[in-house]
Amino acid sequence: MAAGEEEGSAPEPEQEPAAEEPRSFKDLGVTDVLCEACDQLGWKVPTKIQVEAIPVALQGRDVIGLAETGSGKTGAFALPILQALLETPQRLFALVLTPTRELAFQISEQFEALGSSIGVQSTVIVGGIDTMSQSLALAKKPHVIIATPGRLVDHLENTKGFNLRALKFLVMDEADRILNMDFETEVDKILKVIPRDRKTFLFSATMTKKVQKLQRAALKNPVKCAVSSKYQTVEKLQQYYIFIPSKFKDSYLVYILNELAGNSFMIFCSTCNNTQRTALLLRNLGFTAIPLHGQMSQNKRLGSLNKFKAKARSILLATDVASRGLDIPHVDVVINFDIPTHSKDYIHRVGRTARAGRSGKSITFVTQYDVELFQRIEHLIGKKLPAFPMQEEEVMMLTERVAEAQRIARMELREQGEKKRSRNDDDDTEEAIGVRNKVAGGKKKKRKAF
């Protein structure tokens, strides 16, 4: 379809003029008590998306924000909501829909941090967590609900006395991901039971056809705020690659971790199994490594993330479940241990470092099997990457110790697998749910996986 063919159904959103020099939150119209809250969080000047979105949101307009996690977008929608809440206090005032549980908790943390001095109460409603305690939390009528669409619909349908008929603000965060994760039906259901007379903010990293459709269905005369051109990696990020034989990947990883000791690392692997294996391997070699992947229970995932955030662990190993959206501000080095199959995931992965003006490094492992994928990445980011400097002889000196640690890790992995099978308690693993869904063709349980 030619661009713009669908335009007859809704006017194109106004485009905000490019942002000027960062101003203060006060200049944007943010009220004193919230300016203080920003100050206490160490937010000295507003980020670009905040400069663009906050004034229009405060004027009462609907907003489409094209911005990624890391841009400060949560503040861009939370501050106008909190300010409106200050002006007209009301329970069940705002709903934030977001694609994943981790993101929901992060958003909630920012609402709590910004709103604590004004007594704002928020609740997170996501899958994988006991429904009963959520019902009790909803009965207390919090000001802000941060939810994944599936579990919220469950409550709207099944929790007595809970409705969103008085809602004033709806935020759809990471709308492209919400729709890609097949939450379209749930979003439609939610839109049907909330007032039409409300303010809506839609944030998305990309403007896909599905997002445009949602925009037409849910927003009124919105203002578009776009901050970064697509697929750009930030200037303060030093990106490298290493070209190595596949069979020595582990030794090169250990070499790099030693070389860059003292930094915090996020290491991306392609599968849950390899994430777990590599974490065990590194632990056997004395590194403080912790895994984060979809086969872990929600509690374990949050536990891992919190330990890493609190700097009790310096290495987080993750699958792409964790490559987008997670707010981990202090990652110094991102390692693509397994090269991403989709080049766009490269941008999201390396976006975990060099955030909010800090510098950072990324190192991508390229084996004999990955050359084509690597070339695609270079093409996407529009530059040739330099090789990370290494002393090959030193790497080779590590191979014996690494081989022993690999052997132990394989054994541990086998033991863990056996224990899991014997406990037969894999209910909350994504894999188990995936298999059950395939067997049952069920939709309901699938949501639990996110």
Residue 46 within binding range of ligand AMP, rule CB under 6 A:
yes
**DSSP states of 7-70 as a string?**
GGGSPPPEEPPPP-S---TTTTT--HHHHHHHHHTT--S--HHHHHHHHHHHTT--EEEE--TT
Identity of the residue, 46 or 222, whose beta carbon is nearer to ligand AMP in the bound complex:
46
Residue 274 within binding range of ligand AMP, rule CB under 6 A:
no
Instruction: Determine the Cα angle at 331 with ends 78 and 266, to 5°.
Output: 115
What crossing angle do the helices spanning 32-40 and 101-115 adopt, rounded to 10°? 120
Instruction: Determine the Cα angle at 114 with ends 113 and 118, to 5°.
Output: 105
Alpha carbon distance 237, 336 (integer Å): 14
Alpha carbon distance 198, 193 (integer Å): 12
Residues 275-334 that bind ligand AMP (CB under 6 A): 327, 329
Under 8 Å between Cβ of 363 and 256: yes
Tell me which of 47, 278, 304, 353 binds ligand AMP, using CB under 6 A: 47
DSSP 8-state symbol, 9? G
Q: Which residues contact 30 (CB under 8 A, 6 or more apart)?
A: 38, 54, 58, 79, 83
DSSP 8-state symbol, 184? H
Residues 57-86 that bind ligand AMP (CB under 6 A): 69-75
> Nearest distance from residue 333's CB to ligand AMP, in Å?
18
Residue 43 within binding range of ligand AMP, rule CB under 6 A:
yes
Identity of the residue, 16 or 327, whose beta carbon is nearer to ligand AMP in the bound complex:
327
> Nearest distance from residue 296's CB to ligand AMP, in Å?
22
> Nearest distance from residue 47's CB to ligand AMP, in Å?
5
> Nearest distance from residue 348's CB to ligand AMP, in Å?
13
Taking residue 214's Cβ as centre, other Cβ atoms within 10 Å add up to 23
Q: Where is 322: in which H helix or E strand? A: none
Residue 436 token pair: 């059950």
The dihedral formed by the CA atoms of 116, 21, 14 and 27, expressed in degrees to the nearest 10: 40
Identity of the residue, 309 or 420, whose beta carbon is nearer to ligand AMP in the bound complex:
309
> Nearest distance from residue 34's CB to ligand AMP, in Å?
12
- Total binding residues toward ligand AMP, as defined by CB under 6 A: 14
Identity of the residue, 37 or 282, whose beta carbon is nearer to ligand AMP in the bound complex:
37
Of 42-50, 195-203, 240-248, 311-319, the segment contacting ligand AMP by CB under 6 A is 42-50
3-state DSSP assignment of residue 132: helix
Q: Which residues contact 77 (CB under 8 A, 6 or more apart)?
A: 53, 57, 63, 65, 96, 171, 173, 201, 203
Of 46-54, 163-171, 209-217, 286-294, the segment contacting ligand AMP by CB under 6 A is 46-54
**DSSP states of 135-147 as a string?**
HHHHHT--SEEEE
> Nearest distance from residue 107's CB to ligand AMP, in Å?
8
> Nearest distance from residue 67's CB to ligand AMP, in Å?
7
> Nearest distance from residue 236's CB to ligand AMP, in Å?
14
Residue 154 within binding range of ligand AMP, rule CB under 6 A:
no
Residue 360 within binding range of ligand AMP, rule CB under 6 A:
no
Q: Give bridge partners of residue 240 from the DSSP assignment.
A: 363
Alpha carbon distance 206, 77 (integer Å): 17
Identity of the residue, 194 or 205, whose beta carbon is nearer to ligand AMP in the bound complex:
205
Identity of the residue, 47 or 83, whose beta carbon is nearer to ligand AMP in the bound complex:
47
Q: Which of 173, 174, 117, 164 is nearest to 144 (CA)?
A: 164
Identity of the residue, 189 or 358, whose beta carbon is nearer to ligand AMP in the bound complex:
358
Identity of the residue, 145 or 285, whose beta carbon is nearer to ligand AMP in the bound complex:
145
Of 43-51, 339-347, 401-409, 429-437, the segment contacting ligand AMP by CB under 6 A is 43-51
Q: Which residues contact 155 (CB under 8 A, 6 or more apart)?
A: 125, 131, 134, 135, 138, 162
Identity of the residue, 70 or 80, whose beta carbon is nearer to ligand AMP in the bound complex:
70
The dihedral formed by the CA atoms of 286, 413, 410 and 373, expressed in degrees to the nearest 10: -90
- Residues near ligand AMP (CB under 6 A) are 43, 46-47, 50, 69-75, 327, 329, 356
